[in-house]
Amino acid sequence: MLREVTANRYVQPLRSGGSVPGVVEADDLGTYVVKFTGAAQGHKALVAEVIVGELARALGLRFPELVLVRFDPAIAAAEPHQEVRELHSASAGVNLGMDYLPGARDLTPEIARVFPVDPLEAGRIVWLDALTVNVDRTVHSSNLMVWPTFGTAPPRLWLIDHGAALVFHHRWDTTAPGRAYDFRHHALGQYGPDVRAADAELAPRVTEELLRGIVAEVPDAWLAEDAGFATPDDVRDAYVAYLLARVRLSAEWLPTDFPTREELAAEQAARAARTQAGRPDWLKWVPDLHGGPGTEEDGAVRPR
């Protein structure tokens, strides 16, 4: 089961994501990024974090340790932003923490151009994302960290943030476990991921016993509100049944068509041109949040 710790010092909020997680220090002397139960994404995002994160670890992928963090909003009373304080007030009790990776850097498109990733490692990550229907690991939002970035140890890829995975549990569409999804713009697609080798290696390891052990780590309180199920254990059974059915149908959803770096660059340039064409001159420096003109990724420079 996940270890439980108590937060005893609030360090800072992280505003890079919509859920506004916070960095805390705990009574085990560890530092954690906490995702709060009171966030707008709700408990299902935390359930996805546990199931996909623990599955990644079980399959040998690098993912920081998860812990249950008991949080008292009083330790963050000095937080100056009212909306963050309200989030804390709504999150008293047990929340989800992920071991903090000091100095880690996002795998941005710029870093990806020079950071080597083995095709099999890329294939394993893409395979996991396809199995768990993680729609939030794209070239524009990789949710991959490069760590460590100092010392003599070689930098490695670490997975983070799986709250957007398991999309089927928002409507419990149990009729289509073999459904394919568009992974052409996966963050690691440009590395030529060997998903067939990953499927041969990983699929046999996703057993009912493994999945039942993982879903048992999700607190009952985070499952109790799922409509259509009588008990938290019924919800756990549904996750196990769906993921087992999906892994057995991997031939139907296995992603194999990935654009090259040159094709991605051409698509991005075409999108940037379309966006620029519809703007007056004085607006052409405004950033496109999806990677269009005006972003550092495109090399645009704001007027001074």
Task: Using 70 as the pLDDT threshold, list the residues of the chain that sit under it.
Answer: 17, 282-304
* Residue 301, pLDDT score: 33
Q: What are the residue ranges spanned by the domains of the chain?
A: 3-99, 105-253, 273-298
Rama region for 103: left / alpha / beta (φ>0; ψ in -120 to 50; rest): left
Task: Scan for tokens 């990644």, then name that residue.
Answer: 56
Chain centroid to Cα 82, Å, comes to 27
pLDDT at 140: 86
In sequence order, which residues have a C-beta less than 8 Å from that of residue 76 and are 6 or more positions away?
A: 10, 22, 84, 85, 88
